[in-house]
């Protein structure tokens, strides 16, 4: 009598178009919108309204990457961020209607 055994195989399933769209949308919201909003929130908290004020990021014990931004630039991008969010919502609406 032959004993049956089970086996599992790993296959590949490509992302569907909807999944790809959701991933891109998530990435734009998280990185572009989220990044700009984080900078804006920091600018508000620090109350740095002088155009010469800067927020720096410097390494501590390890690392050598430094970066900085001006709070006034973050504030000036506020309107554009709101516009991006509005347009992304419209895009989601249009894609849902097209389905």
Partner 1 sequence: MPIRANLLANLQQALNATVTPNLTATSHGDDLYEAYVWSIVLEAARTRGATTSFKDVHGNSVTGQFVFRTSPCEIWWDAQNYCHAELAFNGCPELEVHVGIYVAGRSMVRHECDVAVLHKSEADLCRSRHVLPRASKVVLAVECKYYMNSTPGLALGRAFLGLRDEIQKDNRFFVATSHSASVDKLLSKHTRDYDLQLSPVTPHNVDVMRGTFEQVFGNFKARHR
- Residues forming contacts to partner 1 in the complex (CB under 8 A) are 27-39, 41-42, 44-46, 48, 50, 52-63, 65-69, 73-74, 77, 80-81, 83-84, 87-88, 90-91, 94-95, 97-98
Task: Give, for 84, the enclosing helix (H) or strand (E).
Answer: helix 78-98
**Please, what is the minimum distance in Å from the beta carbon of residue 7 to partner 1?**
26
Residue nearer to partner 1 on the CB measure, 1 or 19: 19
Residue nearer to partner 1 on the CB measure, 15 or 57: 57
**Please, what is the minimum distance in Å from the beta carbon of residue 3 to partner 1?**
35
**Please, what is the minimum distance in Å from the beta carbon of residue 32 to partner 1?**
6
User: Crossing angle for the helix pair 78-98 and 17-27, nearest 10 degrees?
Assistant: 170
The DSSP output letter for 69 is E
Residues 6+ away with beta carbon under 8 Å from 85:
29, 33
Partner residues linked to 82 by β-bridges: none
**Please, what is the minimum distance in Å from the beta carbon of residue 15 to partner 1?**
14
- Would you say 54 and 72 are in contact if contact means Cβ atoms under 8 Å apart? no
């Amino acid at each position: 009598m032959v004993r049956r055994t089970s086996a599992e195989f790993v296959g590949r399933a490509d992302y569907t178009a909807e999944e790809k769209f959701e991933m891109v949308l998530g990435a734009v919201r998280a990185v572009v919108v989220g990044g700009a909003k984080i900078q804006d929130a920091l600018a508000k908290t620090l109350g740095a309204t002088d155009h010469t004020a800067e927020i720096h990021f410097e390494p501590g014990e390890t690392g050598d990457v430094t970066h900085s931004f001006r709070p006034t630039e973050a504030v000036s991008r506020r309107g554009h961020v709101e516009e991006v969010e509005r347009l992304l919502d419209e895009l989601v609406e249009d894609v849902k209607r097209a389905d």
